[in-house]
Every structure is written in structure tokens, then in C-alpha cells.
Amino acid sequence: MNTWKQTCTAILTAAATTTLAAAAGGIPPRYHAIEFDILLDGVTTPSDLNNAGYTTGKSGGGAVNTSQHAYLGYSDGTIMSIETIPGTRSSEGQVINDHGVIAGVMRRQNGTYTLFYYTPEQGMVDIGSLGGTYGRVLDINEAGDVVGEWKTPTGQYHAFLYTTADGLIDLGTLGTYESHARDINENRQIVGDSWTDDWDVHAFLWEDGVMYDLGTGGGDWSSAYYINDQGVVVGESKDASGTMRAFRYDTSTDTMTLLPSPPDAQSCHATWIAGDSDLIIGWWVSNDGAANRAFYYTGAEGMVDMGLNLGSGWAMPPPVANQAGETLLVQLDDHTYETFGYLFDPATGVHDLNDLLAVAHPWSIVDVVGINEAGQILCVGMLRTLPWSQYAVLLTPITPGDLDADGDVDLGDLAQLLAGYGTTEGATYAQGDIDADGNVDLDDLAALLSVYGTGM
């Protein structure tokens, strides 16, 4: 055993035997941050993240490159322009799957917009549109099926599906007006909402060429946000009293269940459900409209407040999560209108993402885009002082105890902690405050030694 570790282990012998367990159970995650490159100049704006750590979005838009191009971003921060169609003015990658297939929107030189589909083997392909002026891509599955919404020549949005076998398909509507697709699962089941002939809005499920009306919880409105691979849908619906409620819909039984709302909620919205069909994520709005609050729901625990007021703005992005229940949130300061990125960790609660960075950066995380199953987070950093700058940032989890963020928990980290040992009230992670309690003490030393020697 290393001499350093022998010495520290002797110190720990005097501590209570529960110290290590307590520290390990309350240690927040930590992240190494990488800023993405920029195409020529301007800014890089991220849109989506896959499980391999690859990203897409748009980059450019500065004095040299006035247009912005869709890109493929790698986990080391480098990006590659995927602009391969002559006559294209600008483009934006909006979704990416684990095979590196990207779909999005591009603008031709004549000013019209169209959809594109990119594969690493074939490059970028113009796949057309529904004939109107504009639209967007909302989701892609691992088979490469793409869903979104596009304006038709009559000015109405229609949900669409694109597959390599059948091309672009207008999914139609439940009535004679608009429809909006939001999510697709691996079984090519699509959910969203559509106007009915009664001018109500109903959640729909599209499957095998048919759009099914999922109905409502008693009112005149419902909308589906997400469907998992088991065919369980979540969204929002008005009940018979007109109150907006979160719902869970099981396609195997054709049953919509309204979730219980908090006593002081005027509306409640479910936006994500885990693959095991039990964990549901969403947000609710207080009766006075002064607070949006994120929640998770399970059959055993019911609806649980994540512990953060997201602000009163209705335009905030909905919570997004991975299968571990790690959830990304954006908070709006109602006075300054600044935004802040947060993480809800099921083990340790809610954290400002800026406080979880292993190494300090001059920018602040102001928006979150996505989180993958490896726990990597795609977000936006902003330098809040002049000169104003925006950064696309990928956060990768590191082992708590890797104080210098070099990928290993070794002598360097141990020396760093011992140099800060005894610091109280305001100690930083770099000083050795692994458990984020403001002190560098025996709990932090125990936590580091429990993972000593791990890494690359």
C-alpha cells in the first residue's frame, strides 16, 4: 500500500465506522467540462446528444461565416460541418441517434426551407417538406425514423414521419386542422396532439398508418409528450373541472390515468417516463402562478417535489431525464431574467450545475439541452460579462475524488485534499470538499480513499 494511503488510513481508524457509508451516500456528482469548437467564427448552439457523447446543432454566424451550418460534434469538443448540399444557405441539426444519424432543417439559396437527413455513409440528403414554409424535427429513434411538424401550404402545422423506406409521410390530423408530433419510440409508435372537429385538442397515438385519439381525462384538452418502448404515454389533460392534470396512458389497456396533483397546483404536466413505466418526470404550476416546480412520480412514493422553484415563466424548457432519473432543469430569475442550469440527482437532490464542475470556468451554465445514459450533459455556457460569449459545453461525469479532473484518483488528488484539510465554511471541491458540506474533513478523506486508484 502506498505510504500516503497508509498514513491516511491510520487517521481514518479513529473515525466512526459509519463515516464512509454516510459520505458515500451523500456525494454529489462531479463533471469535467469540454467546450465545443466553432465553425470559422460566431457561436455554436447545441440541439441534441446521443449515448456515445456525439452532438449536433448549428455553428457559425459570425463576421466571417455569416450563415450557420449543421454539425456533428465529438465528445472531445471537435466539430465537423455536415453541410454537403450545394446551394444551401444555412442548416441546423436538430436530432441525432446513437448511430450518428442526424436530421434537421436547412435553408436553400432561394430562401425556402426543407428537411435534411444525414448519415455518416451517405452524407446530407434533402428529403423535402410538406410544401409550406417551415417546420422542425422533434425526435429520432435508433432505426433512423424521424418525426416532427411542418407547415403545409394552407399555413397549418401537420405532424410528419420520415423513414428511409417510405420517405416523408404527412400523419394527418384527428379533425381538419393542425397536428403536432413530439416523440417516437423504437416500435415506430408516435405521440403528439391534434385538433378535433369539435375544435378541442386531443393527444394522439399514430401506429401502422392510423392516428388514434387518446381522448382526455374529462375536459377539452390533452397532449402527449413522450412514449416509452413499452407503449406507455405521458402528457397533460384537462379533467372534468377544467384543471390541467398530468396523465399516464397505457396503450396495452387503452387506459388514461390522471396523476394526483399537489394541493397548491393549478396545472400539472408529465413530460417523460422511464423504460420500466414507473418513474415519471414533469412540472407543475402553483395556484398563484408564481412558481413552476419540477416533480418525479412513482407508484410507491407518489408525486415528489424536486425542491427547486423554476420561476414563473411559461417558456421554460420542460425537464428531461435519463433512465437513472438524473433530471435537467432550467431556472428563470423573475427579476433579472437570467437563466441557470440545474441537475436533480436522485441520491443527493438538486444542484446548480456550475457548483458540480471539477474545475472552475469563466462562463456560467445558463441552459441545458440533454442528458444521456452515461450521465453526460449537453448544455450552454454564457460569459455574463463583456465581451459576451456563448459556449456549447459537454459535461462528462468524473469519479468524486478526482479533484484535478485528470481521469484518475491518485497521489495528486490526495495531496490536494491534504493541503486543504481542515478548511471550514466555504471550502471548494478543488480544496477537497468532496461531499459539498463546506468543510474538508474526515468524511472527504474517507470518500477519496474509497475510490483511490480508480480511473483511466
3-state SS string for 42-98 = EEEEEEEECCCCCEEEEEEECCCCCCEEEEEECCCCCEEECCCCCCEEEEEEEEECC
- The three cell numbers of residue 336 are 433579472
Report d(CA 138, CA 149) in Å as an integer: 8
- Specify the pLDDT at position 189: 98
Least confident of 37-46, 294-303, 379-388, 428-437: 379-388
Q: Give the chain's mean pLDDT.
A: 91
Predicted local distance difference test score (pLDDT) of residue 386:
73
pLDDT by residue (tens digit) across 25-65?
479 999 999 999 999 889 999 999 999 999 999 999 887 77
Task: Return the pLDDT at 83.
Answer: 79
Nearest to 365 by CA among 348, 351, 386, 375: 351
β 123-128/302-309 pair status:
unpaired
* Predicted pLDDT of residue 26: 76
Confidence (pLDDT) at 314: 65
Report the share of the chain in percent with pLDDT over 70.
94
pLDDT at 133: 86
pLDDT class of 344 with cuts at 50, 70, 90: very high
Q: What's residue 40's pLDDT?
A: 84
Residue pLDDT, tens place only, 69-102: 999 999 999 999 997 788 788 999 999 999 999 9
Q: What is the model's pLDDT at position 315?
A: 62
pLDDT in the model for residue 19? 33
Per the CB < 8 A criterion, the answer to whether 306 and 343 are in contact is no
**326 has pLDDT over 80:** yes
**Average pLDDT, integer, range 285-293:** 89
Q: How far is CA 99 from the centre of its chain?
A: 19
Does position 4 have pLDDT exceeding 70, yes or no? no
Report if pTM > 0.95.
no
pLDDT, tens only, 226-269: 999 999 999 999 999 999 999 999 999 999 999 999 988 999 99
Q: Which three cell numbers stand for residue 81?
A: 460541418
Q: b/e map of 90-109 (b: 16 or more CB within 10 Å)?
A: bbbbbbbbebbbbbbbbbee
Higher pLDDT, 149 or 132: 149
- Does residue 22 register a pLDDT over 80? no
pLDDT at position 456: 62
CA dist 177 and 170 (Å) reads: 13
Quick one: pLDDT at residue 23?
32
pLDDT at 11: 45
Torsion of CA 317, 322, 327, 330, to 10 degrees: -20
C-alpha cell read off for 449: 480513499
